Amino acid sequence: MLKIFQDFLKSLWPEFYRHRTNVHLNSFYTFTNYRYLWFISISVLAATALAPICIATLIYYQLIETSVDSDLNHRTKQLTVAAKSAVTFFMEERLNALTFTVNENGYEQLTDNTRLAEILKNLKLGFGGVTDLSVLDADGNQVAYAGPFNLEGKNYKNQSWFEQSLKQINYISEVFTGYRDVPHIIITVRSVKPDGSSFILRATLDTERLMQTLSSYKTGDYADIFLVNHEGKLQTPSIHYGAIFTPTNLIFPAGSDESEVIEIFLNGKSIISGHSSISRDLTSTPFTLMVLKEKAGMLKFWQDMSFKFNWIMGASVVVILIVITFASTFMVNKLYRADKAKAETMMQMEQSQQLASIGQLAAGVAHEINNPLAVINQTAGYMKDLFSFKDQERDDDEIVEYIDSILDAVDRCGTITRQLLGFVRQFDVKIKKVNLQKLISQVLSFHKKEAEYRRIHVTVSIPDSFPELETDSSKFQQVLVNLINNAFQAVEEGNCLDIIASQLSPNTIELVIHDTGCGIPEENLKKIHEPFFSTKKNGSGTGLGLSITYGLVKKLGGRISVQSTEGVGTSFTIHLPVKINEGRNA
């Protein structure tokens, strides 16, 4: 269990991050920059996973904002309408009561102070908010008075409200302080005396009652409900604008009965403002009802929710990123390990193929060396025979001849071993100048006897102007050994093997190895450079020769192609740069 956990942790550790290996092994990796791969993987996965979340969040916020705005407007409007009804009802109720009083009692009774005081008492009981009552004649003289102030005998002829009262059947004044220095509203009802002249019943309304009515509609700390007159002067105190009678810029045309909601900015705050004129059927009032709601306050619930939502989103994004990072690390690690194993196998394969090439060479060398050894054996044996059968002299010419023969044969063996050593040593050397003619004749020298016995006509055609190649000689050598070995295996007795080199451009050469051997069937032609593909029976071939050759030519910065017709022959064509680009093929 612990081991599984350890393995799991190990698979999440970015092992590839410190990917360093030798240059030779590196060339077998499919991917070189694992950090980049990792980065790309994380970026693509993160973009794919997070983009929908971000878009959904944006859409969500936009929808919330729109719906909250419309909800706020709607609620403000509802509140405006409700408060307006209440204020209108407040006014109408009192006005109707006054009208009823006038109609019921008539001028005579109303001018009776005792009766008037009784009516005032009833009005206070029934409706409240009525401070005093008075009856005025058409000249503005106060004829009767009931109330707490001693205002009897006063003349109101020059007061603007009196002029208005005479013109209309009933009238509602703005809030003003008048003689008493207390804010109040005057409502009047005009009627006719028995003699035909007009008289006015006036009631003073306490604004306290009105303000209470307005206050009852305040919901929460962020609402502000108050009245202004048509000049914008406050008629009741406002949270935002201050005390009563403060002038404001809230000026709305009179007469519109509709409630309207707009958004305004006040002291840097966004405020939803609803307003409506207070009007009645018969007469309009000077009041406009204002409902102000601070948007921020109203939005508080939504903001709290958004805050929670953001937290959840942020946490989700972090979790997603962690999961993506781990998943990417896991995948890239897997890929890296597979690639590493592949690269190591490929390198081993190349090495074993190189050994196989050398093995093939060694077989050729053994063949070459065996004949002179047989000669030495027989000559030495004969010399021994001479002594034992003939008892011949030491300085006999024949003996000298045989010794020379032995020496000659030993020389032949020496030449062959030197060739092999020189050839095999080149496998170690990296980039150096290569004389193609020399290299080809070295490779062919190991096939000399075979060519002779099997009567294979080998021709090598290299123009005099052919340049010296500057390339990885060991790889190039292996390519030649592989292809020439292959050709020798493909040809029958009496066939031809042509090696033709030419220079295509200042930095490109072409080498064609053509044989008139058995050829490769078309169905195999596509597979010959696949690893482990072999047509040799009994496992005598590894199936790696051509696959490795393809890889080697690629590493030398060249390309290789094959044309073959079954029964006619095969041509391997290699294009190579004259000078290898080290950086690319290190």
Partner 1 sequence: MQHTDILIIDDEIKFADMLAKRIELRGRSNAVCYDGKSALEWVKSHAHGITLILLDLRLPDLYGTEVLVGIKEINPAIPVIILTGHGTEKDRLECERLGAYRFIHKPPKIDELMSIFEHIRERSEC
Binding site for partner 1 (CB under 8 A): 366-367, 370-371, 373-375, 377-379, 381-382, 385-386, 389-390, 405, 409, 449, 452-453, 455
* Shortest distance (Å) from residue 453 CB to partner 1: 5
* Shortest distance (Å) from residue 480 CB to partner 1: 23
Task: Report the C-alpha gap between 578 and 213 in whole angstroms.
Answer: 103
Nearer to partner 1, 152 or 398 (CB): 398
Pairing between β-strand 130-137 and β-strand 142-146 as defined by DSSP bridges: antiparallel
Q: DSSP for 561-575? A: EEEEETTTEEEEEEE
* Shortest distance (Å) from residue 493 CB to partner 1: 8
Residue 491: name the closest of 514, 524, 510, 511 by CA: 514
Is residue 443 within 8 A of residue 451, CB to CB? The reply is no
Nearer to partner 1, 331 or 375 (CB): 375
* Shortest distance (Å) from residue 348 CB to partner 1: 28
* Shortest distance (Å) from residue 405 CB to partner 1: 6
Nearer to partner 1, 384 or 438 (CB): 384
* CA distance between the termini of the chain: 44
Nearer to partner 1, 356 or 509 (CB): 356
Nearer to partner 1, 77 or 449 (CB): 449
**Tokens representing 355?**
């050994």
* Shortest distance (Å) from residue 415 CB to partner 1: 16
- Please list the helix, strand and coil fractions of the chain in percent, rounded to the nearest 5, in that order: 55, 20, 25
Nearer to partner 1, 379 or 474 (CB): 379
* Shortest distance (Å) from residue 500 CB to partner 1: 27
3-class SS of residue 554:
helix
Task: Report the C-alpha gap between 365 and 382 in whole angstroms.
Answer: 26
Nearer to partner 1, 115 or 412 (CB): 412
Pairing between β-strand 223-228 and β-strand 269-279 as defined by DSSP bridges: unpaired
* Shortest distance (Å) from residue 497 CB to partner 1: 18
Is residue 196 within 8 A of residue 93, CB to CB? The reply is no
Task: Report the C-alpha gap between 107 and 201 in whole angstroms.
Answer: 9
Nearer to partner 1, 265 or 389 (CB): 389
* Shortest distance (Å) from residue 482 CB to partner 1: 22
**Tokens representing 350?**
């190349």
Nearer to partner 1, 19 or 412 (CB): 412
Task: Report the C-alpha gap between 210 and 75 in whole angstroms.
Answer: 22
For 126, list phi and psi in degrees, rounded to 5: -75, -40
Q: DSSP for 105-157? A: HHHHHHT-HHHHHHHHHHHHHHT--EEEEEEEETTSBEEEEESSS--TT-B-T
